[in-house]
């Protein structure tokens, strides 16, 4: 466990140093390429792993506040930071049109929700209208598995 925190700290330090250097360097195509974060090692996904929504169903109409239940087959769920084989934790992508890089930790913001405590459901509050939801499983360091374990994207209408 201590090694994971040290690795995570080293990754964050390296990313911060690269960003600081990029800010000092004039922007050229070569400089922009060099400033990109290095690819991180990815955890192999077990064959046949599936991530899906238990609820709501694709095309469902929901209230402003609704519960999303996550399903996972062929793997287990563990909190972030836990490195047990064949386990990961959920991330929920809301209205995301382009997937984040698969070789970096998943972002954590309004459109990319982390469930690093090992949660298997969440209550969401979204504005009225159509919204897309998609699940992606992250390893102990929030990096998607290789190949990514993702649900199909679903659409819900919030009334």
Q: Which two tokens stand for residue 93?
A: 């992508």
pLDDT digits (tens, 9 = 90+) for 119-131: 999 999 999 999 9
Which has the closest alpha carbon to 80: 70, 91, 71? 91
- pLDDT tier, 34 (very low <50, low <70, confident <90, very high otherwise): low
Q: How many domains does one find in the chain?
A: 2
Both 76 and 138 in one domain: the answer is yes
More confident residue, 38 or 94: 94
Whole domain around residue 153: which residue ranges? 50-158
* First vs last C-alpha separation in the chain: 44
Is the residue at 134 inside a domain?
A: yes
- Do 130 and 107 belong together in one domain? yes
Pick left, alpha or beta for residue 81 (phi over 0 → left; psi -120 to 50 → alpha; otherwise beta). Answer: left
pLDDT digits (tens, 9 = 90+) for 93-128: 999 999 999 999 999 999 999 999 999 999 999 999
Residues 30 and 76 in one domain: no
Q: At 24, is the pLDDT very low, low, confident or very high (cuts 50, 70, 90)?
A: very low
Of 36 and 18, the structure prediction assigns the larger pLDDT to: 36
Is residue 23's pLDDT more than 50? no
């Amino acid at each position: 466990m201590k090694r994971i925190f040290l690795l995570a700290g080293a990754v964050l330090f390296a990313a911060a140093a690269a960003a600081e250097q990029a800010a000092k360097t004039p922007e050229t195509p070569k400089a922009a390429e060099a400033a990109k974060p290095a690819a991180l090692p990815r955890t192999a996904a077990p064959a046949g792993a599936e991530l899906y929504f238990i609820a709501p169903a694709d095309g469902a109409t929901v209230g402003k506040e609704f519960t999303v239940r996550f399903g996972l087959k062929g793997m287990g769920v563990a909190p972030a930071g836990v490195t047990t084989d064949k386990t990961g934790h959920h991330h929920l992508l809301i209205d995301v049109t382009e997937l984040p890089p698969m070789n970096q930790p998943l972002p954590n913001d309004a459109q990319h929700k982390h469930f690093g405590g090992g949660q298997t459901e969440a209550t969401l509050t979204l504005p009225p209208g159509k919204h897309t939801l998609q699940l992606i499983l992250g390893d102990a360091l929030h990096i998607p598995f290789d190949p990514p374990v993702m649900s199909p994207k679903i659409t819900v209408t919030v009334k």
